[in-house]
Amino acid sequence: MRRAISNFKTSSASRRTVGLRPAPSVRAVDQNARVIACLRIPNFPWQVEVARKPELQDRSAIVAGRAIDLAEELTNSDSDSLSVRVVLAASPDLADAMPGMPLTEAMSRHRGVLLIEADTPLYALVFDEIIENLEHLVPDIEATAPGLAYVGIWGLEGLYGDDAHVVRLLASAVDSFDLRIGVGDNKWLAYAASLLSRASSGRKVTGEPGRFLDGFPVDSLPVPYQLIKRLHAFGLTTMGHIADIPRGPMEAQFGRAGGAAGA
């Protein structure tokens, strides 16, 4: 990772003591479960931009890029029309500027904010190097998007100790970024737990989603922005609302992304 971010400065927050806190109202851990850790770097493109330009830390900013509209691609031969500028990430104070939101919508809500043109090759390179560092520590890792990965941590206690020690190990490998770690019996719960995690720390939850997910808005899901708007239109506003809906009906109504969201 040092190759891509050799001039980056490590934030003081990334040096805090890392711990693993249980999520509220959650049953005890099944030691035989295939425990998964979600490693989430919120607003990853923005964090990369701040890392190379620390003066951006206190600025309200939106990182903008282009998203391909596949439906438009089939009907329009003008290559310039095949993409639309969207929000890729935003500074933490712009919480409603969600990834995938059309840039025009975001800018209408936040006039005058700093607009940063996305450097997607850099973001991919930096995250690839983060994953490379992690692969030296854990064998089972899946990168799903820049700033989001899942790690199978079952069986690692023999090497590193309990889950709390594994969380500390993972955080130490990503110490240049504000990393949030969630631990659960599956990706769904691990991701939800990461939403409760504080900077460079971990949260753990196991068992059925139940009431635990009721407090999480669907806006937090790593799915396309347009899907989130459709879920709202159907009255599905929290993760708890969709947790018990079978994958088939979700996919039939909302497509593949909807099926994955409800899985």
Q: What is the DSSP string of 183-250?
A: EESSHHHHHHHHHH--TTEEEE--S--HHHHHTSBGGGSSS-HHHHHHHHHTT--BHHHHHTS-HHHH
Q: In what order do the strands lie in the sheet with 83-90?
A: 83-90, 61-68, 114-117
Q: What residues in the chain have per-residue pLDDT under 50? A: 1-2, 6-18, 24-32, 69-82
pTM (whole model) above 0.85: no
Q: What is the CATH number of domain 45-120?
A: 3.40.1170.60
Spans of all domains in the chain: 12-41+147-207, 45-120, 212-262
pLDDT tens by residue, 83-93: 589 999 999 99
Mean pLDDT score of the chain: 78
Neighbours of 66 (CB within 10 A): 15
Task: Check residue 83 and give its pLDDT.
Answer: 57
Residue 78: what are its φ and ψ, rounded to 5°? Answer: -80, 110
